[in-house]
Amino acid sequence: MSNTDQENLRQQLTFRFRHHKAYLTLCLFGVTLFLAAVAMLAYFVDADLTRLERWVKGLGHWGPVIFVFGTAMLCILFVPQGMLSVAGGILFGLGPGLLYVFLSECLSATLSFLIARNFLRMRVNQWMEKHPRLGIFDRAPSDRRMHLMFLMRLAPANFSLLNYVCAVSKVRLVSYLVALVGVLPGNLCTVYAGDVARHVSGRLVGDASEQQYGTMHYVLMIGGLFMAVISVSLIARIAYRMVKDDVPTLESEKP
């Protein structure tokens, strides 16, 4: 390798390091603002939140069922899925919240698929004609469609919109549902954020159940959230790049 090539490589590595450093710093700053906003919101609506939690617990086994069906209906109507995931973390905690949110998304995705394919196909197709890049699923070979759907679930794509786009394409329902596992990393972060915000707000309002935990508990909890968001952000960027790399190839196959 010549001196010129070595210098070019060094400059490229330096640029990439600075770029990724700035990106990670931005992620940390964004997570901090997000967590602070959710915690403050929970703090100011603590009385209402407490009543809501008691109401949900009072429903017994029907509480999760109502949450799953209710949030599924809201997703169909394009209510932001991330906001619903945060609510799941606040109401049910990390483990149960993640399960209920995922079940809700599976139900919402299935209903959206059936509705769009059987009743709204013409309307969605008319909208897609104005945005031809969304037709990558039809231009893709059949053995690559599930791969692309999985990547789009990992990437920061609109959940509800992607459901309708997939529904009017040539993808099979089974592959469409299998690709839904791609939403789990993002769900983990948003549900975890809701769970952390619930604990932090409880600490701020002097909840007796939170006083048993020391400061280190909250430091580790928030630090875990930071690490989760950074990891998912990097995964989403990689997935988005892979999708962008696939799009020109798919477009070149268009007759």
Query: What are the CA-CA distances from residue 36 to residues 88, 165, 230, 247 (Å)?
Result: 18, 34, 17, 38
Predicted pLDDT of residue 112:
93
For every residue of the chain, which 3-state class applies, written as one string?
Answer: CCHHHHHHHHHHHHHHHHHHHHHHHHHHHHHHHHHHHHHHHHHHCHHHHHHHHHHHHHCCCHHHHHHHHHHHHHHHCCCCHHHHHHHHHHHHCHHHHHHHHHHHHHHHHHHHHHHHHHCCHHHHHHHHHCCHHHHHHHHCCHHHHHHHHHHHHHCCCCHHHHHHHHHCCCCCHHHHHHHHHHHHHHHHHHHHHHHHHHHHHHHHCCCHHHCCCCHHHHHHHHHHHHHHHHHHHHHHHHHHHHHHHHHHHHHHCCC
- What pLDDT is attached to residue 111? 95
Euclidean distance between CA atoms 41 and 187, whole angstroms: 20
Instruction: For residue 94, give both structure tokens.
Output: 């990390």
Residue-level pLDDT at 40: 66
pLDDT of residue 225: 73
Per-residue pLDDT of the chain (255 residues), as tens digits, is 555 654 554 544 444 445 555 656 666 666 667 666 656 665 665 556 667 677 777 778 888 999 999 999 999 988 888 888 888 988 888 899 999 999 999 999 999 999 988 888 888 877 777 766 667 777 777 777 788 888 888 876 788 888 998 888 888 889 999 999 999 988 988 898 888 877 777 666 666 566 566 666 667 777 777 777 777 777 777 777 776 665 554 444 444
Inter-residue contact 152 to 186 (CB < 8 Å): no
Asked whether the CA dihedral 95, 98, 104, 107 is positive or negative, the reply is negative
Distance CA 214, CA 233 (A): 29
pLDDT at 181: 92
Contact 202, 209 (CB under 8 A): yes
Residue type, 247: V
Retrieve residue 118's tokens: 């059987």
- Rounded to 10°, the helix 81-92/94-118 angle is 150
